[in-house]
Amino acid sequence: ILNVEQSPQSLHVQEGDSTNFTCSFPSSNFYALHWYRWETAKSPEALFVMTLNGDEKKKGRISATLNTKEGYSYLYIKGSQPEDSATYLCAPLYNTDKLIFGTGTRLQVFP
């Protein structure tokens, strides 16, 4: 059973704070890492797909890095806003067709 860990489980920050969370995953047979953003009562929405060691992707105030050798990825949010409040899921893909989702980091940004 592949174990994907995300930390912290939940995070409360003030508007304007920058924050980051971690996704750890087994690195054997790794193929790609997906990050999703999941707002309450909505569908998970893809943020990034990363494949190469050292990959760094950015979308607005959100960025992510990937270390495939040691099996981790960081997601950063600069200057958090209330609309960033959501659960952030990571999901590595191995040499199969299925994504293995972590349990997510629940972010709440207070105005």
Residues forming the site for another protein (CB under 8 A): 31-32, 34, 36, 42-46, 49, 51, 89, 91, 93, 95-104
Q: How far is the CB of 72 from another protein (least distance, A)?
A: 18
79 Rama sector, left if φ>0, alpha if ψ -120 to 50, beta otherwise:
left
From 57, 76, 55, select the one nearest 11 (Cα to Cα): 76
Q: To the nearest whole angstrom, how small is the minimum distance from the Cβ of residue 43 to another protein?
A: 4
Query: Closer CB to another protein, residue 28 or residue 95?
Result: 95
Nearer to another protein, 15 or 39 (CB): 39
Q: Which pairs with CB-CB distance under 8 Å and at least 24 residues apart come from 57-66? A: 64/35, 66/33
> Quick one: which of 82, 61, 69, 57 has its CA closest to 28?
69
CB of 19 to another protein, least distance (A): 20
Which residue's CB is nearer to another protein, number 77 or number 89?
A: 89
